[in-house]
């Protein structure tokens, strides 16, 4: 039997797989999965965006025949409905996976609880790893906010000097953030579905959004 420390390690690997993606998978969630057999990872998968294979299916295909009897670690509850791709539950059942560890339930009404119920109905042991729940949720704040609150996830970025200034008295743009912060902000912008900025900033700075 896989011990607790190993289960944590494998779920962390699934979370790391999910981080291979970006928020550009929107409106879908970021999901990672690993398949384990004999206490060793035999395959990894992650979702690359709408219309592409889900993380579980990518891992199953990567594992090949070795998938039978393996354990799946996945960061979000497997789907049980037909969308642009077939349900992951069907692929998991047909692959002969014996156990599934899940970090977070999917609040999508088309999925919530249904994926888990279908797997258990097929005789697959489904275990929720509560310790990984927060990390899995952090990867999908925009998705979870939209599904649970029906509004966008909004981020505010600001930078100012110690005396509360954002520009010189002549209105000239002065970099307050360092290079690492600027690079990180551009990554955040690139992962966002929309960017809102004041017209005065556009006129004065012509920023690279």
Domains of the chain, start order: 4-141 (3.40.140.10), 155-209 (no CATH)
HEC sequence for the chain: CCCHHHHHHHHHHHHHHHCCCCHHHCCCCCCEEEEEECCEEEEEEECCCCCCCCHHHHHHHHHHHHHCCCEEEECCCCCCCCCCCCCHHHHHHHHCCCEEEECCCCCCCCCCCHHHHHHHHCCCEEEECHHHHHHHHHCCHHHHHHHHHCCCCCCCCCCCCCCCCCCCCCCCCCCCCCHHHHHHHHHHHHCCCCCCCCHHHHHHHCCCC
Q: Give the residue with greater pLDDT, 148 vs 175.
A: 148
- Give the per-residue pLDDT at 155: 84
* Active site residue ranges: 56
pTM for the full predicted model: 0.83
91 pLDDT more than 70: yes
Q: How confident is the model at residue 20 (pLDDT cuts 50, 70, 90)?
A: confident
- Over residues 19-30, the mean pLDDT reads 81
- Give the per-residue pLDDT at 209: 66
pLDDT digits (tens, 9 = 90+) for 131-173: 889 999 998 998 889 989 989 888 888 888 888 777 777 666 6
pLDDT digits (tens, 9 = 90+) for 28-83: 899 999 999 999 999 999 998 888 889 999 999 999 999 999 999 999 999 998 77
- Give the per-residue pLDDT at 17: 94
């Amino acid at each position: 039997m896989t011990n607790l420390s190993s289960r944590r390690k494998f779920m962390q690997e699934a979370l790391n797989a999910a981080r291979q993606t970006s928020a550009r998978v929107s409106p879908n969630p970021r999901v990672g999965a690993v398949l384990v057999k004999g206490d060793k990872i035999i395959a990894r998968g992650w979702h690359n965006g709408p219309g592409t294979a889900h993380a579980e299916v990518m891992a199953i295909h990567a594992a090949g025949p070795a998938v039978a009897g393996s354990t799946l670690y996945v960061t979000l509850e497997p789907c049980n409905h037909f969308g642009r791709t077939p349900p992951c539950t069907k692929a998991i059942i047909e692959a002969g996976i014996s156990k599934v560890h899940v970090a977070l339930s999917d609040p999508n009404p088309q999925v919530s609880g249904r994926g888990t119920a279908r797997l258990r109905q097929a005789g697959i042991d489904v275990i929720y790893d509560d310790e990984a729940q927060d990390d899995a949720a952090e990867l999908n704040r925009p998705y979870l906010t939209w599904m649970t609150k029906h509004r966008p996830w909004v981020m505010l970025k600001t930078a100012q000097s110690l005396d509360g200034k954002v520009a010189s008295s002549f209105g000239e743009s002065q970099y307050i953030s360092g290079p690492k912060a600027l690079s990180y902000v551009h990554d955040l912008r690139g992962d966002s579905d929309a960017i809102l900025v004041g017209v005065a900033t556009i006129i004065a700075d012509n920023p690279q959004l």
